[in-house]
Amino acid sequence: MKIAVSLGTRPEIIKLAPIIKLLESRGADFFILHTGQHYSYEMDRVFFQELELPAAKFNIGAGSGTHARQTAEILVGVEGILEKEKPGIVLAEGDTNSVLATVLAAVKLHIKTGHVEAGLRSYDRNMPEEINRVLADHCCDYLFAPTQKAVGILRGEGLPEEKVFLTGNTIVDAVNLMKDRAAANRRVLAAHGICRGNYFLVTVHRQENVDVPERFAGILGALKTLLAEYRMPVIYPIHPRSRKNLSALGLDAGGLTLIEPTSYVDFLALELNAALVLTDSGGVQEETCILRVPCVTLRDNTERPETVEVGANILAGASRENILNCAELMLGKKPAWPNPFGDGTAAHRILQIIGAGA
């Protein structure tokens, strides 16, 4: 059986890497299809290099654009590749436009599809990611749920039990692959003049935060106050969208340490050594939970409620006062919570389920 692995963004590369590496080690018949949704070196190629992944056989080069334009371009590109290659199954991960377009192209060609990290819900339809993940789940033949809660969500939506599989989350596999290198990485700390436990790490990139002046301003105001009150640097690897909006909205990040997006090993090292991480990223909520670093989520909801339930994470929204209160609370947390995302063998389980096991 030929397997197509479709990816297009930084998180997808990271979370599909354990599956790709297993396929490669087993000499499986597979290829990587890259949509090109993320396309800069910092957001794309560096992850292939660090994770030692084979190059994509195809790259659609979709780039950025409106949701409709980007989704349509990927849909057309994926359809042509699948018609030519005729894989037996297509695997996609997550909640991006790349995932939705890939799944739609495959199911309309009557090709089996598997959704890695199925069953996540924020129940906020204002998030484009929520639309993507719901539609992908209801189209796919295999739903690889990372937690029992995700299994319950999928069954509660009436999806057939025989399609739903509890596998754990491949992010655990990925972190396990790289955490020793991250723990030994002192170069990235030295580069920014910081030391273990003496800085805050921030990521803010979602459109509901960086496209809305009041929310982005509230978050930046809280970060500046943290800098002043705790006298610790605030390290912000800034996403291209966030940098663009910072300028367009006339906002000031004065005092914060803005850096370019980092490699995976560098970012894991920054997470591992931070006093506290503040983020609107789903993947970062998972990674900090696994690494046992306290997290404040700069959103009103999360599709990773397990991180909140075990005490690794707290929802703060975008209000300056709420963020500061939540930061104070999480800084006093003992990092003794359990990891709710599995034992690091999710990739192996997924390949067994689709008949590509060792």
Gap between the Cα atoms of 209 and 214, Å rounded: 8
- CA-closest candidate to residue 94, choices 290, 312, 298, 282: 282
Identity of the amino acid at 113: T
Gap between the Cα atoms of 209 and 218, Å rounded: 9
What Å distances lie between residue 61 and 9, 31, 76, 108, 178, CA to CA? 12, 17, 12, 22, 28
- CA-closest candidate to residue 89, choices 189, 3, 7: 3
Identity of the amino acid at 314: I
Strands 142-145 and 257-259, bridge-based pairing: unpaired
Gap between the Cα atoms of 156 and 143, Å rounded: 14
Q: Verify whether residue 205 is a known catalytic residue.
A: yes
Q: Which of 34, 38, 205, 348 is catalytic?
A: 205
Active site residues: 205
